[in-house]
Structure 1
């Protein structure tokens, strides 16, 4: 299957890049880096074995763990990295330097969640938000989370492809509610530009898709290639229309082969779900985000002065 070949490729890629990784890691962290690489290799092997045995839950768990270890490895490499500041024209927007973690708790009014035959009162998910690759999208998101914007908001779409929320105008009977976030003292919805990053470039590209830039089909630095990847929703024909709506991608490698999907380079991917992704399979419209909170990295949020 696609999942199997993708994992086998990932294992090979990891093996061949070990010398480059070790060179990029500060000497004082070499031992920790070696341990992390070994754990990722183990996770890839465990995921392959789980797929062969038809155990989707174990495969997902191994994938989640490998994403977490890779994230830690990237943090080691990034210790000496000076992240570029977003372009001056976006100085009025918050941005994220590095990474943050956001934890979600979701409840279903009056019912339990049924995941792989087990019942749960709440769903808990941990996500890593990646400001290295999508600083404005991540900064906007972390800023909204820490303001409590998503607390009490319902899941507004769940169609087997994405689980989406974030539109305050869909929350009640107030038809005049804005369809985004309006900062205090202002009347207009705060919007952010489309932010996509071609692999190999030095920084993200703003306001245009890979196709617009004549680079359709190029690889994305942060691809939509994992179950529970986070994406920013926007209006189809206006790349700079995103404000507060976002989605979890219910990635299926048979439907959306990595690098061949219709999201990379057209929508901003800004993070991954590293714990609890399997629960997304049973999250439905009307379920409620009882809490969304930044559990680490809030000190990396840069807000406009």
Structure 2
């Protein structure tokens, strides 16, 4: 699934190229993803628990031939319609995220004993944010839609890669801590406020899963591990650093990373905070967020059963 996702995520950057967009390259990316999905059908479905096989099969069929699937995305690219490509791409990535949610329940590694005092997410979950504009303006619609004062953003929370960071974040969402949070917009991120005036969460150890590793690294930034590579996805969500120690994440403040190859460091990496989530939304949606806009609500729509709180140990 990762290789399919990576191939599709590259299209997001290609869509941002003005004027003559490289539709031929986009078509090649989708065809590559489609071939992998078809060739690996058996292994994709085999990784889904038996009681979820039917749901997985339906999602797989939707990914291949559904209205928002890869075949439909391929046609949008052939029609050279960037708006439809953007919508179709988001739909395909959403389906991939749903398939990943069905796979591999539980963690494949043991957490260090001292870290069991923190909330943790033992798998994946989904959080939906409703963003509200406060200056009376509206969000531009997707193809065929109407301008709206609010926009919804769904993010997949990855407890497999960062169980402590994800657990703290999900607990904050469940507790309603982000409802009403103010946002700030910069060239590379959309950030929440620092939460100093709120009952914030846990300052958990910095938690990073380098590419090729089977368990996260703790209290170690990637700049001190040059030999290790890490893939920061184009649509990453991460916690800010703690103001007290760079070895820990902030207990409350997080940001949506706005990937831009022009500003990225070596290998495309431009921050060393621990990534715990991804989103599949258009960059143009985030560019419409202004400093002062708020998170009207944040709710956990999937994954409550995977959240383990300290008192349950």
Question: Gaps (5+ residues) in structure 1?
Answer: 170-176, 184-189
Task: Indicate the larger mover: 123-132 or 55-64.
Answer: 55-64
8 Å Cα contact 2:204/2:248 also seen in 1: yes
Structure 1 position 57, deviation (Å): 3.4
Cα 1:275–1:159 change in 2 (3 A) is closer
**8 Å Cα contact 2:207/2:218 also seen in 1:** yes
Residue of structure 2 aligned with 1:104, choices 125, 129, 134: 129
Q: What is the match of residue 44 of structure 1?
A: 70
Partner of 1:91: 116
Note the C-alpha offset of 1:73.
Answer: 2.1
Cα gap change, 1:77 to 1:301, in 2 (>3 Å) = closer
CA distance in structure 2 between the partners assigned to 1:276 and 1:28 by the alignment: 33
**Closer/same/farther in 2, CA of residues 159 and 294 from structure 1, 3 Å limit:** same
Map of 2:191 onto structure 1: 164
Partner in structure 2 of residue 76 of structure 1:
102
Give 3-state SS (helix, strand or coil) of 1:168's partner.
coil
Hey, which of these two has a bigger chunk of helix by percent? Answer: 2
Q: Which residue number in structure 2 is paired with residue 172 of structure 1?
A: none
Relative to 1, partners in 2 of residues 1:276 and 1:163: Cα closer, same or farther, differing over 3 Å? same
Contiguous gaps of at least 5 residues in structure 2? 1-10, 15-25
* Displacement after TM superposition at 1:150 (Å): 1.1
Note if contact 1:64-1:273 (Cα within 8 Å) is conserved in structure 2.
Answer: no
Report the alpha carbon displacement of residue 48 of structure 1 after superposing the two structures with TM.
4.5
Q: Per the alignment, in what secondary structure is the counterpart of residue 145 of structure 1?
A: helix
Which residue is 2:291 aligned to? 285
* TM-score (norm. length: structure 2): 0.75
Question: Displacement of 1:27 after TM fit?
Answer: 5.8
Deviations 1:27-64 (A, max 9, x none): 66556544433433453344444455554432332232
User: After the TM superposition, which of the residue ranges 91-100 and 31-40 deviates more from structure 2?
Assistant: 31-40
Q: CA deviation at 1:275?
A: 6.3
Match of 2:150 in 1: 122
The offset of 1:13, in angstroms, is 3.9
Task: Map Cα deviations across residues 165-193 of structure 1 (whole Å, 9 max, x no partner).
Answer: 14124xxxxxxx4xx8556xxxxxx3122
Which deviates the most, 120-129 or 38-47?
A: 38-47
After TM superposition, give the deviation of residue 66 of structure 1 in Å. 2.1
Spell out the pairing of 1:75-224 with structure 2 (5 A cutoff). Answer: 75-79=101-105, 82-116=107-141, 118-156=146-184, 158-169=185-196, 177=197, 182=200, 190-216=202-228, 218-220=229-231, 223-224=232-233
How far apart are the structure 2 equivalents of 1:262 and 1:152? 31
CA root-mean-square deviation: 3.3
1:64 to 67, 75, 90: 90
How far is 1:195 from its partner?
1.4
Residues 130 and 298 in structure 2, CA contact (< 8 A), matched pair in contact too: yes
Aligned-residue offset at 1:291: 1.1
Q: Could you say if the C-alpha distance between residues 110 and 153 of structure 1 is closer, same or farther in structure 2, counting changes exceeding 3 Å?
A: same
Higher deviation after alignment, 8-17 or 196-205: 8-17
Does 1:24 pair with 2:43?
Answer: no
Moved more, 31-40 or 280-289: 31-40
Q: Which residue pairs with 2:310 in the alignment?
A: 304
Number of the residue aligned with 1:260: 267
Deviation at 1:255, TM superposition (A): 4.2
- What is the aligned residue count? 281
Moved more, 27-36 or 64-73: 27-36
